[in-house]
Structure 1
Amino acid sequence: MNKGVLKTLGITITVDEIGKCAVEMPITEKVLQPFGYVHGGVNVLLAETAASMGAYKMISDDEIAFGMEINANHLRAKTEGVLTATALLKHSGSTSQVWEIEVTDEEDKLVALSRCTVAIRKKR
């Protein structure tokens, strides 16, 4: 799946397993805020992308998954390099999943910590 925001920002899936998903993105000028640092919203976008992609791996063809709630703690500022968001499933119910996501840099240093609740619904 390489379209929309994934294509625009160069986000790729690097791990795609049941209960674990990781996505990677190079830091480019497109994702910097006016002061030259990665915009905090980009960390959140990466976290929700990893959680949502992980959720899709676990649902049936007649279901859809979408982010319902997300929070993030931004722990380290970045101006260049590569960011990786790794989502681990913490709860899987019939209508929701909870994922914990670590956003790390190319040196495996923690950049952001996030939790995302994903809703699971039948397709209409």
Structure 2
Amino acid sequence: MDFSLLNFDTPLELLNQAMQNSLVGNLGIEVTKIENGLVEGFLQLSEKNNRPGGMLHGGANLALAETLAGLGSMLIVGLQENEVLGTNVSGSHTGVLKQGKALAEARIIHQGNKTHIWNVDVRSEEGRLISTVRVTNMIVKRND
């Protein structure tokens, strides 16, 4: 898939398939909803994303958040003329996940010409907050 052609009408199946041979696929991250300013997704707890002891690794939470926020910024600005670079990811882990899925909702809270700031909440399937993450993306013009 040519990510420079990515848009809000890109089928989720195609998008998820295109990310399988990357960190996103290796961790088991799947995107379930894309809208302007909102991206949702999940990851299933597995041996690929847990820490010793079987609970979800905090870094996997951060990767999930940065993936969804980055994708959201890419969709907003378009990748034919712009590149999206994550410049800051800061998370607070408020709970643990020992089974099931981590469900994440990324919402844009600042949409500037050069930066986007996203808030991403990661919850258990029961709705318990596991992590809250702030992601800042820088928007730069392509020089290709």
What is the TM-score normalised by the length of structure 1? 0.94
Checking the alignment, whether the CA contact within 8 Å between 1:26 and 1:82 is kept in structure 2 is: yes
Checking the alignment, whether the CA contact within 8 Å between 2:122 and 2:132 is kept in structure 1 is: yes
- Of residues 112, 121, 139, the one that matches 1:93 is 112
- Report the residue type matching 2:57 in the other structure: H
- Report the residue type matching 2:50 in the other structure: L
Aligned match of 1:58: 76
Q: Following TM superposition, by how much is the alpha carbon of 1:47 offset from its aligned partner in structure 2, in angstroms?
A: 0.7
Aligned match of 1:30: 48
What is the TM-score normalised by the length of structure 2? 0.82
CA RMSD of aligned residues (A): 1.1
Aligned match of 1:2: 19
CA distance, structure 2, for counterparts of residue 12 and residue 21 of structure 1:
11
Q: Following TM superposition, by how much is the alpha carbon of 1:9 offset from its aligned partner in structure 2, in angstroms?
A: 2.0
CA distance, structure 2, for counterparts of residue 123 and residue 43 of structure 1:
29
Q: Following TM superposition, by how much is the alpha carbon of 1:120 offset from its aligned partner in structure 2, in angstroms?
A: 0.5
Count how many residue pairs are aligned between Structure 1 and Structure 2: 124
Checking the alignment, whether the CA contact within 8 Å between 1:70 and 1:114 is kept in structure 2 is: yes
Aligned match of 2:132: 113
Aligned match of 2:89: 70
Identical aligned residues as a percent: 29
Checking the alignment, whether the CA contact within 8 Å between 2:38 and 2:107 is kept in structure 1 is: yes
Bigger share in strand = 1
Cα distance per residue 1:47-84 (max 9 Å; x no partner)? 11111011111003210112100110101111110011
Runs of 4+ in 1 over 2 A off after TM superposition: none
